[in-house]
Amino acid sequence: MKVSYFPGCTLKNKAKDLDLYALRSAEALGVTLEEIENWQCCGGVFTTAEDEVATKLSSVRALKYASDRSQPLVTVCSACHNVIKQTNYAMQNNKAFADKVNRYMAEDGGYNGEAEVYHYLEMLRDLVGFDTLKEKVANSLKGKKIAAYYGCLLLRPGKAMGMDDPENPTIMEDFIRALGADAVIWAKRNECCGGYISVESPETAKKNSNAVIRNAKAAGAEMIITACPLCKYNLEKSGADIPVVYITEILAEALGVKEDTNA
């Protein structure tokens, strides 16, 4: 199976190993991530102003690239996924916005939301299947107590993202169980780590992150996994005293493809 892949800026610069884990793990599961040619930054944040389209054009071009190849578009960073998924939803449901975008892109041909967008977790659940993933595990994580940290962007807004129940999600816990580990259920798994205010108010960001870490530990977690590079960075910077691991890293470990990432 081949899919169009949007890695995003962080995984192509500061976190190249996490991108490599994503590629290797997908191949081990029978999926080839074909990186979109000449992709550009998604913009980082989906702006809600309907008359602002410039920051969304790179996402539309990525969506059109996948659509033109009759491939689903897969993202792995929750921030990138949020922007691209919300942009696609706007192209499908907001005619005025779609018309304005397509006037900008007249020379490239029209686009009206035809692409299917999957987060990497959704790809594992819906295209590969967690049962298949479980069969492919080479290094079971049995006995590990892992807390899934969703953060702000993976599930909200619920109608546009459509991944899971934004208040009581299960996708990351099901992912953890497929790897053989125990999924810890805890109160702050959907709370903000403070990443987006870390420059404006670093003390508030640290307070938020510390509250998240304390809550995960109090619930018995030995590790936190996340799908957001910013969440991972912010939790670690705030002094997490349990490992904070990106989903592609723990997946690569379980599948036995983590070693020699510099090869």
**Class of the domain covering 130-255:** alpha beta
> By the 8 A CB rule, do 162 and 93 touch?
no
Instruction: Delimit the domains of the chain by residue range.
Output: 2-121, 130-255
- Digitized pLDDT (tens) for each residue of the chain, 263 residues in all: 999 999 999 999 888 999 999 999 999 999 999 999 999 999 888 988 878 899 999 999 999 999 999 999 999 999 999 999 999 999 999 999 999 999 999 888 889 999 999 999 999 999 999 999 999 999 999 999 999 999 999 999 999 999 999 999 999 999 999 999 999 999 999 999 998 787 788 899 999 999 999 999 999 999 999 999 989 999 999 999 999 999 999 999 999 999 755 54
pLDDT of residue 263: 45
pLDDT of residue 247: 98
State pTM to two decimals: 0.95
pLDDT of residue 109: 87
- CATH 1.10.260.40 at 2-121, yes or no: no
- The C-alpha atoms of residue 126 and residue 200 are separated, in whole angstroms, by 39
Task: Give the full edge-to-edge strand order of the sheet including 2-6.
Answer: 32-35, 2-6, 73-75, 117-119
- The C-alpha atoms of residue 227 and residue 246 are separated, in whole angstroms, by 6
State yes or no: cis peptide before 157, omega within 30 of 0.
yes
